[in-house]
Amino acid sequence: MKQVIRAVGAGMLALGILGTASVTRADEKVTLGVAIPTADHGFTGGIVWWANKAKTDLEKAHPDLKVIVKTAAGAPEQANQLQDLVTVNKINALVIFPYESASLTQPVAQVKKKGVYVTVVDRGLTDTSAQDAYVAGDNTAFGKIPAEYLAKALDGKGDIVALRGIPTTLDNERWTAFTNVIKNYPDMKILDAKYANWNRDDAFKVMQDYLTRFKHIDAVWAADDDMAVGVLKAIEQAKRSDIKIVFGGAGSKGMVKNVMDGAPMIKADVSYSPKFIYDAIKLTAEARLKGDKLPPTTIIPSVLITKENAQQFYFPDSPF
């Protein structure tokens, strides 16, 4: 069983223990590559912002550390960047937020075989032997919390449509957790679930299709705050009044503000901050500077955001 550590911040650093593979001596400099998707929607915008903040903060704090941040618009580009980070930049540690799971697994495995310490963030690989450590939000809770909320809000009966993200291990975890809850309510029906790529425009198109095909919908699980924006736009254009709840996810400042303000269809959200990329870079860099490694798995909890606690999750100056 994997070791799961539920903690955030500086206290997590004490969890590192001496590694048996890909060990950096404490007197060596660390060149850490960070490979992340481009800012193609709000959440990845937050990922890019937090990654660059980690570079600034950590290089200032540690003279023996160099952080190189690369952004990619697709899986092939990210795979090519990994080769450059190893051959050109000579990295000895990598923090990667994979653009996709399956297509990046082998490229990451090749990096690890060259002696680079690998921390995978959020979108897990299909073969965990390709990584040394995994840091993510709680994807099971991300799917379970909305399902439980909708079941309670709809009194255990109603018609739901769902929008999934990009085909990744984390999306599968969320979807499995969501459907496992809904299965307990025979009077709740998932009419359809399609990928909308965590993208507002794609979500708008998917929701338009749902609104055309289904004459009655009680609730929408958008599974991402950016997708929820596209869903709301489609509902508004169609002038549909049957939909009671749109539940997004990740706790963007816009959606949290909607929850705070009592927006008609946005009654709750679930936390999943892009700041975990900062935590992953910090944990990895400081462990490698000491010649240590991280626990195999570090999970950062996701919690239900309602009007009662929304103020705790509202950060108006953040990029997401």
The pair of three-digit structure tokens given for residue 68, joined into one six-digit string = 């190189």
* Residue range 141-181, pLDDT digits in tens: 999 999 999 999 999 999 999 999 998 888 999 999 999 99
Spatial distance between the Cα atoms of 157 and 182, rounded to a whole number of angstroms: 10
Spatial distance between the Cα atoms of 32 and 52, rounded to a whole number of angstroms: 13
Give φ, ψ of 124 to 5 degrees. -65, 160
From the list 44, 1, 67, the residue with the least C-alpha distance to 295 is: 1
Spatial distance between the Cα atoms of 99 and 74, rounded to a whole number of angstroms: 6
Spatial distance between the Cα atoms of 143 and 180, rounded to a whole number of angstroms: 9
- 13 C-beta neighbours (distance < 10 Å), count: 16
The angle, 0 to 180 degrees and rounded to 10, between the axes of the packed helices 225-238 and 253-261 is 60
Roughly how many angstroms between the first and final C-alpha of the chain, as a whole number?
34
- Region 281-307: mean pLDDT is 95
Residue 112 confidence class, pLDDT cut points 50, 70, 90: very high
From the list 203, 74, 15, the residue with the least C-alpha distance to 5 is: 15
From the list 317, 308, 306, 295, the residue with the least C-alpha distance to 134 is: 295
Q: Which percentage of the chain shows pLDDT scores above 90? A: 82
CA triplet 117, 122, 125: central angle to 5 degrees?
A: 65
The pair of three-digit structure tokens given for residue 167, joined into one six-digit string = 């085909």
Residue spans of the domains in the chain: they are: 4-136+273-300, 139-270
Q: Which CATH class is domain 139-270?
A: alpha beta
What is the structure's pLDDT at 5? 36
What is the structure's pLDDT at 275? 86
DSSP string, 61-90: H-TTEEEEEEEESSHHHHHHHHHHHHHTS-
Q: Which CATH class is domain 4-136+273-300?
A: alpha beta
Residue 191 confidence class, pLDDT cut points 50, 70, 90: very high
* Residue 271 pLDDT greater than 90, yes or no: yes
Residue 253 confidence class, pLDDT cut points 50, 70, 90: very high
Do 162 and 178 meet the contact criterion of CB atoms below 8 Å apart? Answer: yes
R_g of the chain, CA atoms, integer Å = 20
Residue 115 confidence class, pLDDT cut points 50, 70, 90: very high
What are the percentages of helix, strand and coil residues in the chain, rounded to 5? 45, 20, 35
Decide if 4-136+273-300 and 139-270 have a common fold.
yes
* Residue range 127-145, pLDDT digits in tens: 999 999 999 889 999 999 9
- 285 C-beta neighbours (distance < 10 Å), count: 26
